[in-house]
Amino acid sequence: MSATFASPALKEFDGLDWPVRTEENWRFGSWKEANLSGLETVGAGTTGELPGPLEGFERIVFANRDLVSGSSASAELVDGSFGPTSRLGSPKLAALHTAKSKHTLHIRSTTDVSLELIYFVSGEGLFLPGVVIEAEAGANIRVVKRFISVDDSAAIVLTATDVRATENSKVTCLVTQELNENSKLIRFADSTLQAASHAKLAVVHTGAKWVREETYSTVDGSDAKSEILSVSLPGTGQEYDQRTFQHHGARNTYSNLLFKNTLFGKARTIFSGLIFVDEGAHGTDAYQTCRNLMMTDECEAHSMPGLEINADEVKCSHGSTCSRVSDEEIFYLMARGVPSKDARSLVARGFSVEVIERLEDEQLEALAMEVIARKFATVD
Amino acid sequence: MSLTIENLHASVEGAPILKGLNLEIPAGEVHAIMGPNGSGKSTLSKIIAGHDDYELTDGRVLLDGVDVSGLEVDERSRAGIFLAFQYPAEVPGVSNANFLRAALQARLPDGEEIDAVAFYKDMYAKMDELEMNRKFTSRAVNEGFSGGEKKRNEILQMMMLDPRYCLLDETDSGLDIDALKVVAKGVNSMRSANRGFLVITHYQRLLDYIKPDHVHVMADGQIVKSGGAELALELEESGYDFLKTA
């Protein structure tokens, strides 16, 4: 019999509990999906067909945990997880990332960088990529992260990103998720913004059977601006569960969250968001909007917007809507000869456009619209 | 060749609005319908276009002899009916160009793709004619447009889709005199021996710019009087009081 020497991270992981039904941060959520006990990390993977290049972007390609091609002077692969934290209900999953992730891609720059990261996912088991984006003063970093399934295996992607925008820097990050519908995605997306920095963090979800995403943005320096954007297009058998926290820790800060979900078939979405303004964070300007477009009578959207203000002279708003496709819009399009199905598709696609346009980056907008179009080609 | 409306009866939420309306619009002619509020003018245009909220209870609509009463809205459009709306819908996120492309694409046989270069060339030429800024191609359909811009956009669509019969539902409402002239110019440029027009309006003013061949007065769901262009002038002069004594 041999002794087992667990790392401190593994010990922490062992000491924590899997999410439970009674936890507020898992309200309406499928907490059982988050129980990953017994799962092993995925082995070596294969690459799929590479998407067309993004002009001006350096490209780094991973097949499961292995880097297969590409490099950048601004990116370094370092051993182990950077140690994400979960403040929105999943410390056990964050600890799992810390204990098991093989490496972190650390992106750091003081200048303009455009980087595309492609993650090909194959085989069954846990895949735990991690990225730190550190924008130093004057930097303008654009990162595209694309998750693409190579096969139909039930992969579990547990991914963490930490954006650190120092004074006078800008980060734009677009994540596109096109995993197969047997897979799960759990994603921690943290950002910390110092004075006069600007972070624009966007995600487009079209794949996976279950997504749990925890986005925590700390706006910590005056004139910092955090934008959080999401487009989700789930269909039957898909559930997307997104929890967000916009944390204003300094005076004169700005955040704006816009999520749009278009639900097809028997899709299910959960959105829970909180704007939290610290004491003394006067002059905060914060907005949070989640809109759901229900394409059928059988889909289900839960929204829980929230606001807690502990400062003065604050402008905040939060809201959520659920609506059906407008009959008036459909009639108008059909009166011009567009068939009913195409009219509904045009309106539904148009619904996401407001989010995509906020990227204010033609290349990224085009990429996001491509991903959306691919999904629309598969739904009725 | 004509758009023929035979003994049309229609109701909205069970309330009868059209009560046996007959009208023939031969290709090459412009017919105007005037009438007091609530006489059923807009209902007539919606019924011809095929709106679901309006129930056809009797009668039929023939397009060049073919009964289109049972067709869906989009099928009627592709068959050649165009309704220029009094209140055009706003469609967020769908650009004018994409919308028009989808409408034209729907008219092509399966497997045939629209020629993008020719499409833009044609659209820009027609926008110039309507004095529309080209930025409207990338703007969402009617979103944030002024009343006049919406009406110009309706006429742009009409010009692009090249319909057989055009129904203009109070196209003059919300237009200043300059916009009215531009819109009328667009409509007049489409007048031809192969195309018919039905112009619904409250005011003679529009008919100064789009000269009708025939004017009809509608009241309580029926055509109650028909005449030439001079009838519109009479109505402008003396209103609809004659209906009360008729």
* pLDDT, mean of each 10-residue run, chain A (380 residues): 65 94 94 93 92 96 95 96 94 96 96 98 95 97 98 96 98 98 98 98 98 98 98 97 98 98 97 97 97 95 96 93 93 96 91 96 96 89
For residue B243, what pLDDT is reported?
75
Count contacts between A and B (CB, < 8 Å): 81
Min distance B78 CA to chain A CA atoms (Å): 5
For residue A4, what pLDDT is reported?
52
For residue A2, what pLDDT is reported?
42
Min distance A348 CA to chain B CA atoms (Å): 9
Name the burial class of residue A367, with classes exposed (0-12), middle (13-18) and buried (19+) by CB atoms within 10 angstroms of its CB.
Answer: buried
Q: Is residue B52 very low, low, confident or very high in pLDDT (cuts 50, 70, 90)?
A: confident
Residue B46 has pLDDT above 50, yes or no: yes
Mutation target for A interface from B46, B87, B94, B99: give the one with most A CBs within 10 A: B94
For residue B176, what pLDDT is reported?
86
Mutation target for B interface from A332, A353, A365, A372: give the one with most B CBs within 10 A: A332
Q: Is B140 on the interface with A (CB under 8 A)?
A: yes
User: What percent of chain B clears pLDDT 70, i.e. is strictly above it?
Assistant: 99
Q: Is B54 on the interface with A (CB under 8 A)?
A: no
Q: Contact A21/A27 with Cβ under 8 angstroms?
A: no
Which domains, ranges and CATH numbers included, belong to chain B?
2-92+163-245 (3.40.50.300)
Domain boundaries, chain A: 8-376
The predicted model scores a pTM of: 0.87
E strand or H helix at B145:
none
Min distance A301 CA to chain B CA atoms (Å): 21
The Cα–Cα gap between A92 and B237 comes to: 82
* C-alpha to C-alpha distances, A326 to A221, B74, B82, B100, nearest whole angstrom: 42, 16, 21, 19
Q: Contact A343/A330 with Cβ under 8 angstroms?
A: yes
Q: Is residue B179 very low, low, confident or very high in pLDDT (cuts 50, 70, 90)?
A: confident
- For residues B38-50, average pLDDT: 93
The Cα–Cα gap between B182 and A290 comes to: 42
Q: Strand locations in B85-237, DSSP E?
A: 91-95, 140-141, 165-169, 196-200, 214-219, 222-227
Measured between CA atoms, the residue of chain B closest to residue A348 is B93
The Cα–Cα gap between A256 and A239 comes to: 24
Q: What is the pLDDT of residues B93-122, one digit of tens each?
A: 999 999 999 999 999 999 999 999 999 999
Q: Contact A278/A308 with Cβ under 8 angstroms?
A: no
